[in-house]
Amino acid sequence: DIQMTQSPSTLSASIGDRVTITCRASQSISSWLAWYQQKPGKGPKVLIYKVSSLESGVPSRFSGSGSGTEFTLTISSLQPDDFGTYYCQQYNSHPCSFGQGTKLEIK
Amino acid sequence: EVQLVESGGGLVQPGGSLRLSCSASGFTFSNYAMHWVRQAPGKGLEYVSAISTYGSNKYYADSVKGRFTISRDNSKNTLFLQLSSLRPEDSAVYYCVKPYDDSISYFDYWGQGTLVTVSS
Protein backbone atom coordinates (compact mmCIF):
# COMPACT_ATOMS: atom_id res chain seq x y z
CA ASP A 1 0.00 0.00 0.00
CA ILE A 2 1.12 3.58 -0.69
CA GLN A 3 1.89 5.77 2.32
CA MET A 4 1.24 9.51 2.19
CA THR A 5 3.15 11.91 4.44
CA GLN A 6 2.19 15.55 4.88
CA SER A 7 4.17 18.42 6.33
CA PRO A 8 3.86 20.39 8.42
CA SER A 9 1.35 18.84 10.82
CA THR A 10 0.25 22.25 12.04
CA LEU A 11 0.67 25.67 10.51
CA SER A 12 -0.15 29.10 11.85
CA ALA A 13 -0.28 31.95 9.37
CA SER A 14 -1.66 35.45 9.00
CA ILE A 15 -4.32 36.77 6.67
CA GLY A 16 -2.72 37.54 3.32
CA ASP A 17 0.18 35.11 3.79
CA ARG A 18 1.21 32.64 1.11
CA VAL A 19 0.88 29.15 2.55
CA THR A 20 2.34 25.90 1.26
CA ILE A 21 1.59 22.36 2.40
CA THR A 22 3.65 19.41 1.17
CA CYS A 23 2.59 15.83 0.56
CA ARG A 24 4.99 12.98 -0.23
CA ALA A 25 4.07 9.54 -1.52
CA SER A 26 6.05 6.40 -0.68
CA GLN A 27 6.14 5.54 -4.40
CA SER A 28 5.19 7.27 -7.61
CA ILE A 29 1.51 8.10 -7.97
CA SER A 30 1.86 9.91 -11.31
CA SER A 31 -0.69 12.76 -11.15
CA TRP A 32 -3.39 10.98 -9.17
CA LEU A 33 -3.49 13.26 -6.17
CA ALA A 34 -6.32 15.21 -4.56
CA TRP A 35 -6.48 17.79 -1.78
CA TYR A 36 -9.34 18.18 0.69
CA GLN A 37 -10.28 20.81 3.25
CA GLN A 38 -12.14 19.80 6.40
CA LYS A 39 -13.84 22.15 8.82
CA PRO A 40 -14.71 21.02 12.37
CA GLY A 41 -17.78 18.79 12.48
CA LYS A 42 -18.01 18.50 8.69
CA GLY A 43 -17.00 15.99 6.07
CA PRO A 44 -14.02 16.85 3.87
CA LYS A 45 -14.52 18.92 0.73
CA VAL A 46 -12.42 18.36 -2.36
CA LEU A 47 -10.40 21.39 -3.46
CA ILE A 48 -8.07 20.01 -6.11
CA TYR A 49 -7.87 16.77 -8.08
CA LYS A 50 -5.30 15.37 -10.50
CA VAL A 51 -2.60 17.45 -8.79
CA SER A 52 -3.67 20.85 -10.11
CA SER A 53 -7.28 20.81 -11.35
CA LEU A 54 -9.46 23.12 -9.30
CA GLU A 55 -12.83 21.71 -8.26
CA SER A 56 -15.78 23.83 -9.38
CA GLY A 57 -16.51 26.65 -6.96
CA VAL A 58 -13.13 26.56 -5.23
CA PRO A 59 -11.42 29.98 -5.08
CA SER A 60 -8.51 30.51 -7.43
CA ARG A 61 -6.17 31.33 -4.54
CA PHE A 62 -5.86 27.55 -4.12
CA SER A 63 -3.44 25.79 -6.44
CA GLY A 64 -1.62 22.48 -6.60
CA SER A 65 1.57 21.27 -8.19
CA GLY A 66 3.97 18.35 -8.32
CA SER A 67 4.33 14.92 -9.86
CA GLY A 68 5.60 11.48 -9.02
CA THR A 69 6.13 11.50 -5.28
CA GLU A 70 6.18 15.14 -4.17
CA PHE A 71 3.26 17.52 -4.26
CA THR A 72 2.28 20.90 -2.86
CA LEU A 73 -0.92 22.76 -2.08
CA THR A 74 -0.53 26.53 -2.12
CA ILE A 75 -2.89 29.20 -0.86
CA SER A 76 -1.69 32.41 -2.50
CA SER A 77 -3.27 34.86 -0.05
CA LEU A 78 -4.72 33.34 3.10
CA GLN A 79 -8.30 34.31 3.93
CA PRO A 80 -10.20 33.89 7.24
CA ASP A 81 -12.35 31.10 5.80
CA ASP A 82 -9.28 28.99 4.99
CA PHE A 83 -8.82 27.67 8.52
CA GLY A 84 -9.29 23.94 8.90
CA THR A 85 -7.45 20.72 8.28
CA TYR A 86 -6.09 19.81 4.86
CA TYR A 87 -5.57 16.27 3.60
CA CYS A 88 -3.92 14.89 0.51
CA GLN A 89 -5.14 11.63 -1.04
CA GLN A 90 -3.54 9.36 -3.60
CA TYR A 91 -5.80 7.47 -5.98
CA ASN A 92 -3.17 5.99 -8.23
CA SER A 93 -3.72 2.52 -6.85
CA HIS A 94 -6.14 0.67 -4.65
CA PRO A 95 -6.52 1.13 -1.76
CA CYS A 96 -6.46 4.89 -1.87
CA SER A 97 -4.73 6.52 1.08
CA PHE A 98 -4.67 9.86 2.86
CA GLY A 99 -1.99 11.96 4.41
CA GLN A 100 -2.22 12.49 8.17
CA GLY A 101 -3.48 16.04 7.76
CA THR A 102 -2.21 19.59 8.19
CA LYS A 103 -4.09 21.80 10.63
CA LEU A 104 -4.07 25.40 9.43
CA GLU A 105 -4.67 28.04 12.05
CA ILE A 106 -5.15 31.72 11.41
CA LYS A 107 -2.94 33.96 13.55
CA GLU B 1 -28.12 17.85 -5.96
CA VAL B 2 -26.09 14.91 -4.70
CA GLN B 3 -26.88 13.94 -1.12
CA LEU B 4 -25.43 11.20 1.06
CA VAL B 5 -27.12 10.73 4.42
CA GLU B 6 -25.65 8.28 6.91
CA SER B 7 -27.50 6.80 9.85
CA GLY B 8 -27.22 3.97 12.34
CA GLY B 9 -24.37 5.15 14.52
CA GLY B 10 -24.49 5.12 18.29
CA LEU B 11 -22.97 3.84 21.51
CA VAL B 12 -22.20 0.11 21.59
CA GLN B 13 -20.27 -2.11 23.96
CA PRO B 14 -17.05 -3.85 22.90
CA GLY B 15 -17.91 -6.99 20.99
CA GLY B 16 -21.22 -5.56 19.86
CA SER B 17 -22.64 -4.84 16.44
CA LEU B 18 -24.13 -1.98 14.47
CA ARG B 19 -25.46 -1.53 10.95
CA LEU B 20 -24.73 1.74 9.24
CA SER B 21 -26.80 2.95 6.30
CA CYS B 22 -26.20 5.60 3.69
CA SER B 23 -29.12 6.88 1.66
CA ALA B 24 -28.00 8.35 -1.66
CA SER B 25 -29.80 10.72 -3.99
CA GLY B 26 -29.11 13.11 -6.85
CA PHE B 27 -27.11 10.69 -8.99
CA THR B 28 -27.47 7.25 -10.55
CA PHE B 29 -26.39 5.19 -7.54
CA SER B 30 -26.00 1.93 -9.45
CA ASN B 31 -23.39 3.49 -11.76
CA TYR B 32 -20.86 4.07 -8.99
CA ALA B 33 -18.74 2.00 -6.70
CA MET B 34 -19.25 3.31 -3.18
CA HIS B 35 -16.92 3.68 -0.23
CA TRP B 36 -16.71 4.13 3.53
CA VAL B 37 -14.04 6.31 5.17
CA ARG B 38 -13.76 6.77 8.94
CA GLN B 39 -12.20 9.33 11.24
CA ALA B 40 -11.42 8.61 14.86
CA PRO B 41 -11.92 11.56 17.23
CA GLY B 42 -9.18 14.13 16.64
CA LYS B 43 -7.47 11.89 14.08
CA GLY B 44 -7.06 11.68 10.30
CA LEU B 45 -8.99 9.92 7.57
CA GLU B 46 -8.86 6.12 7.22
CA TYR B 47 -10.15 4.31 4.13
CA VAL B 48 -12.28 1.42 5.36
CA SER B 49 -14.25 -0.39 2.68
CA ALA B 50 -15.52 -0.31 -0.89
CA ILE B 51 -18.08 -2.11 -3.02
CA SER B 52 -18.39 -2.29 -6.78
CA THR B 53 -21.47 -1.15 -8.67
CA TYR B 54 -23.41 -4.41 -8.34
CA GLY B 55 -21.70 -5.73 -5.25
CA SER B 56 -19.57 -8.41 -6.87
CA ASN B 57 -16.28 -6.92 -5.65
CA LYS B 58 -15.60 -5.76 -2.12
CA TYR B 59 -12.57 -4.35 -0.34
CA TYR B 60 -11.79 -4.10 3.36
CA ALA B 61 -8.90 -2.48 5.17
CA ASP B 62 -6.86 -4.98 7.18
CA SER B 63 -8.02 -3.27 10.39
CA VAL B 64 -11.65 -4.31 9.76
CA LYS B 65 -11.34 -7.43 7.60
CA GLY B 66 -13.43 -10.30 8.93
CA ARG B 67 -15.46 -8.01 11.19
CA PHE B 68 -17.14 -5.52 8.83
CA THR B 69 -19.36 -6.32 5.84
CA ILE B 70 -20.22 -3.86 3.10
CA SER B 71 -23.32 -4.25 0.96
CA ARG B 72 -25.70 -2.21 -1.17
CA ASP B 73 -29.28 -2.19 -2.39
CA ASN B 74 -29.38 -0.45 -5.75
CA SER B 75 -33.19 -0.61 -5.83
CA LYS B 76 -33.25 1.59 -2.72
CA ASN B 77 -30.13 3.67 -3.47
CA THR B 78 -28.69 2.61 -0.14
CA LEU B 79 -25.23 1.58 1.01
CA PHE B 80 -24.67 -0.43 4.18
CA LEU B 81 -21.81 -1.26 6.51
CA GLN B 82 -22.36 -4.03 9.06
CA LEU B 83 -19.98 -3.61 11.98
CA SER B 84 -19.40 -6.65 14.20
CA SER B 85 -17.01 -7.64 16.98
CA LEU B 86 -16.52 -3.95 17.62
CA ARG B 87 -13.44 -2.68 19.43
CA PRO B 88 -12.80 0.67 21.14
CA GLU B 89 -10.44 1.56 18.29
CA ASP B 90 -13.39 1.36 15.88
CA SER B 91 -14.84 4.47 17.51
CA ALA B 92 -15.05 7.06 14.76
CA VAL B 93 -17.22 9.12 12.50
CA TYR B 94 -18.04 6.94 9.50
CA TYR B 95 -18.47 8.74 6.18
CA CYS B 96 -20.19 7.42 3.09
CA VAL B 97 -18.37 8.76 0.04
CA LYS B 98 -19.03 8.89 -3.68
CA PRO B 99 -16.18 8.72 -6.18
CA TYR B 100 -15.97 11.14 -9.09
CA ASP B 101 -16.16 8.29 -11.55
CA ASP B 102 -16.32 4.52 -11.59
CA SER B 103 -12.62 3.90 -11.40
CA ILE B 104 -9.98 4.50 -8.78
CA SER B 105 -10.91 8.09 -8.10
CA TYR B 106 -10.99 10.96 -5.72
CA PHE B 107 -14.17 11.53 -3.74
CA ASP B 108 -16.38 14.40 -4.89
CA TYR B 109 -19.15 14.00 -2.33
CA TRP B 110 -19.10 13.07 1.35
CA GLY B 111 -21.96 12.53 3.75
CA GLN B 112 -22.15 14.34 7.08
CA GLY B 113 -20.99 11.20 8.87
CA THR B 114 -22.43 9.03 11.62
CA LEU B 115 -20.65 8.63 14.95
CA VAL B 116 -19.88 5.19 16.32
CA THR B 117 -18.68 5.00 19.92
CA VAL B 118 -17.46 1.66 21.26
CA SER B 119 -17.24 1.76 25.03
CA SER B 120 -18.37 -0.14 28.10
Q: Does B100 touch chain A (CB under 8 A)?
A: yes
Residue of A nearest to B101 (CA): A91
- The confidence score (pLDDT) of residue B10 equals 97
The pLDDT confidence band at residue B95, using thresholds 50, 70 and 90, is very high
pLDDT band at B102 (very low <50, low <70, confident <90, very high): confident
**Hey, what long-range contacts does A46-55 have (CB within 8 A, 24 or more apart)?**
A46/B106, A46/B107, A46/B108, A47/A73, A47/A86, A48/A73, A49/B100, A49/B106, A55/B108
The nearest CA of chain B is from the CA of A67 a distance in Å of 16
pLDDT in tens, A54-72: 999 999 999 999 999 999 9
Residues above pLDDT 70, as percent of chain A: 100
Q: Residues B11, B88: contact at Cβ < 8 Å?
A: no
End-to-end CA distance of chain B: 40
Q: Are A100 and B105 an interchain contact pair (Cβ–Cβ within 8 Å)?
A: no
Answer yes or no: is pLDDT of B77 > 90.
yes
Nearest CA in chain A to B95: A43
Confidence at residue B84, expressed as pLDDT on a 0 to 100 scale: 98
Residue % of chain B over a pLDDT of 90 = 97
